[in-house]
Amino acid sequence: MTPEEETEFKRRQRSRNLVMGGFLLFFVVLFYAITIVRMGD
Amino acid sequence: MTQTVPLVLPADWRDFFALTKPRVMSLVIFTGLCGLLAAPGSIHPVLGFTAILCIALGAGGAAALNQWWEADLDAGMKRTAKRPLPSGRLRHDDARDFGIALSVASVLVMGLAIGWLAAAILAFSILYYAVIYTIWLKPRTPQNIVIGGGAGAFPPLIGWVAVTGEITMMPVLLFAIIFFWTPPHFWALALFVKSDYAKVGIPMMPVARGETSTRRQILAYSVLLVPIAAAPWFIGGTGMVYGLAALALSLAFLALSLPVAFRQTGSDDAMKPEKRLFAFSILYLFALFAVLVVDRVLVVNGVTA
């Protein structure tokens, strides 16, 4: 792997992890909100 | 000894995003939201948001499965050759797993947060698009657009059922409107965009049955759309504002489809009537569903009957 390829590899890994992390965090908040709302029913 | 090992880069997240067909999803979100807002009763904003999110995720999952199955076809067509799979930016198995994950997650969340009837319809709509349409019927019949229109017609039905929890005449009519709107909308486009579907063996109506037949069928669906679009008013499901707007919009649609229906064109034709009908068909659907919601707001507040 050339240094350029390694940089690109790391960049993609990092951006994918960030998107995945944001996705999971969003669902944690959403499930919390759904739970609160449904408990009021 | 030197050897070149093909480097497997992790796919860019944008390629996964592209797999969900974001532009199609915008129409899915809009019609789903209109179905949800026009339904009688109320839904908590958090749950309403969740329902629309699930509809969108389900549509994205189905779109990913569609592109996973059609990667070879997409590679053979100019319009689709640059998609993530045919261009090699994404692994096939990753696309399949991504599609299944989105589909399963959307159905489960819908069932747990909203209700299992809405979840069941969502599950059926995903299977309908990914299996019945994409795998089974699209490559086999020139009626494929009619069948595909059924998949696009589910969002407002699901949005409505998310609120009411039952299937009544009204959400079925919303389904019917998009179902009968899709063929004239798509075939108008197919008449002026010479695609290479034939090259990859997909039988599109203008090629499979000829342009004259396609034009007559566009007219037939445009005629049917007039009573179907106004039907929610006839059965008392909406107020007058929707009814009159639906009639005006559908008659304009019909008027624009008439010149398309009775034309014969050479190869150097500018295709103006077809382009006009296609452009109006998009406006038509947005306007019709927007008026549905406006009408509901007016009736609830006692402004109109």
* B117 and B213 belong to one structural domain: no
Q: For the segment A1-41, what is each residue's pLDDT rounded down to a tens digit?
A: 788 888 988 998 999 999 999 999 999 999 999 999 999 87
Is there a single domain that holds both residue B134 and residue B55? yes
Cβ distance B152 to B182 under 8 Å?
Answer: yes
The answer to whether residue B5 is domain-embedded is no
Q: What confidence score (pLDDT) does residue B11 get? A: 87
CA dihedral A18, A24, A29, A32 (to 10 degrees): -160
Q: Would you call B12 and A12 a contact, using CB atoms and an 8 Å cutoff?
A: yes
- The count of structural domains within chain B is 2
Closest-CA residue in chain A for B113? A34
CA distance A30 to chain B (A): 8
* B3: in domain: no
- Residue B6, in any domain of the structure: no
Using 50, 70 and 90 to split pLDDT, how confident is the model at B193? confident
- The answer to whether the beta carbons of residues B46 and A35 sit under 8 Å apart is no
CB contact under 8 A, A12 and B10: yes
- B213-232 tens-digit pLDDT: 999 999 999 999 999 999 99
| CATH code (residue B32) | 1.10.357.140
Give the nearest partner residue to B46 out of A5, A12, A34, using CB atoms: A34
Domain count for chain A, please give it: 1
Q: Between B160 and B206, where is the model more confident?
A: B160
ipTM confidence: 0.91
Domain extent for A8: 1-41
Percentages (nearest 5) of helix, strand, coil residues in chain A: 90, 0, 10
B79 and B188 assigned to the same domain: no
Contacts of B13 in chain A (CB under 8 A): 15-16, 19
Do the Cβ atoms of A12 and B9 come within 8 Å?
A: yes
Please give the model's pTM, rounded to 2 decimal places.
Answer: 0.93
pLDDT greater than 90 at residue B46? yes
Q: Are residues B265 and B236 in the same domain?
A: yes
pLDDT digits (tens, 9 = 90+) for B143-176: 999 999 999 999 999 999 999 999 999 999 999 9
Burial class from Cβ neighbours inside 10 Å (0-12, 13-18, 19+) for residue B2 reads: exposed
CB spacing of B50 vs A9 below 8 angstroms: no
Mean pLDDT of the B254-282 span? 93
Number of neighbours of residue B297 by Cβ within 10 angstroms: 14
pLDDT at B7: 53
Q: Is B2 among the domain residues?
A: no
Contact assessment for residue B69 and residue B135, using Cβ atoms and an 8 Å cutoff:
yes
Closest CA to B203 of B146, B282, B257, B279: B146
Residues B172 and B158 reside in one and the same domain: no
Angle at B265 between CA B139 and CA B280, to 5 degrees: 70
* Residue B130 sits in the same domain as residue B173: no
Phi first, then psi: what are they for B43, rounded to 5°? Answer: -135, 140
User: Does residue B158 sit in the same domain as residue B177?
Assistant: no
Q: Which domain holds residue B105?
A: 12-166
- pLDDT at position B6, please? 54
What is the predicted pLDDT for the residue at B3? Answer: 55
